[in-house]
Amino acid sequence: MIKYKIGNQTIELKNSETKQGKGNQKGKAPSGSVVDWRNTAETSRNIDAVCKYILNKDKASGSTSFKVVDAIARAGFWSAGFRNVWPNCQLHINEFEKECIPVLERNFPDDKITHFDIDKKAVHCDLAFLDFDDFTLKKLEQYFHRIISWSNICKYFIIADSACFGFKFGNMKHYGIKTEEEYYFLLSDTLEAHIGKRVTVVSKFNNSAIVLFENPTRRKKDIKFIPPSFITLYKGKKLHGNYIIDTTPLF
């Protein structure tokens, strides 16, 4: 049994469900296993930062009526992060692949676990999380239907965005922009035009970024970037209420 600790939550995986060792770093599981090697500390501190931003802003999110859906949960690392921030929330965890269901049921015995295709239905909730494999603005068309149907029926909407790879390898020319900051403004403008929500928080880590969309009460300049260096470089500063705009690529 392998244990991953995310805050107060533990995810236990049988050896057969995980590939150990330093994996391919993409977080993709090889066939036959649910997860590859995972740097949970890195992912969960970013999820934690974004969830705590919501918690600080919206005290009602701490209540038992706050409904959170992790719609493509795989092994449930993100779910564990949400449960850690919102111990009392109604957590609904969904995953398409059958092999993941026993893992989710074992680790989240009190939560609602389902197994449907997110392209066929979306669920009403306060907060929806879609941890896409390889979403970037360039692939918007491919992801459009899911984004529209899920974001339409929630107050907060979080997706994973992989554009950081484009910046790492200097391949952002197709967007006609130069900086990562510009990319998120572009993403925000594009999705506002289609789904009526704006990007308010971006939390980057090595292989992805967690992007929060909210109803557009904030102005463009108010996007908050929480880079992975935040916690180490700005140690000692308050994480919430003292955000620092820093889009320096770290890798």
Ligand X SMILES: C[S@@+](CC[C@H](N)C(=O)[O-])C[C@H]1O[C@@H](n2cnc3c(N)ncnc32)[C@H](O)[C@@H]1O
Residue 67 near ligand X by CB under 6 A? no
Is 172 a binder of ligand X (CB under 6 A)? Answer: no
In the list 77, 86, 135, 150, the residue contacting ligand X (rule: CB under 6 A) is 77
Residues near 141 by beta carbon (within 8 Å), at least 6 away in sequence? none
Q: Return the number of the residue (73 or 211) whose C-beta is nearest ligand X.
A: 73
Q: To the nearest whole angstrom, how small is the minimum distance from the Cβ of residue 55 to ligand X?
A: 20
Nearer to ligand X, 19 or 198 (CB): 19
- Whole-angstrom distance, CA of residue 177 vs CA of residue 172: 7
Residue 2 token pair: 């392998």
Residue 90 or 162: the one with the smaller Cβ distance to ligand X is 162
**How near is the Cβ of 181 to ligand X at its closest, in Å?**
25
Instruction: Name the DSSP letter for residue 212.
Output: E
The nearer residue to ligand X, 37 or 96, going by C-beta atoms, is: 96
Q: Which is nearer to ligand X, 119 or 189 (CB)?
A: 119
Helix, coil or strand: residue 119: coil
Long-range CB pairs of 120-124, under 8 A, 24+ apart, other chains included: 122/71, 122/146, 122/149, 122/150, 122/152, 122/153, 123/69, 123/71, 123/92, 123/94, 123/153, 124/67, 124/153, 124/154
Of these, 47, 69, 75, 103, which contacts ligand X (CB under 6 A)?
75
Query: Which segment (61-69, 89-97, 212-220, 225-233) binds ligand X by CB under 6 A?
Result: 89-97
Rounded CA-CA distance 80/91 in Å is: 10
- Which residue, among 141, 235, 140, 216, has the nearest Cα to 183 in the 3D structure? 140
By CB under 6 A, is residue 78 in contact with ligand X? yes
Q: According to CB under 6 A, which residues from 92 to 151 bind ligand X?
A: 95-97, 117-119, 131, 133
Nearer to ligand X, 54 or 69 (CB): 69
Backbone angles phi, psi at 236, to 5 degrees: 100, -25
3-state secondary structure (DSSP) of residue 34: coil
Q: Which CB sits closer to ligand X, 147 or 223?
A: 147
Applying CB under 6 A, the site for ligand X has a residue count of 15
Among 51, 73, 101, 128, binds ligand X (CB under 6 A): 73
Q: How far apart are CB 228 and ligand X at their closest, in Å?
A: 17
Are residues 224 and 46 in contact, defined by beta-carbon separation less than 8 angstroms?
no
Task: Give min distance, CB of 123 to ligand X, in A.
Answer: 12
* DSSP H helical ranges for 28-162: 40-57, 77-85, 101-107, 140-151
Footprint of ligand X (CB under 6 A): 72-78, 95-97, 117-119, 131, 133
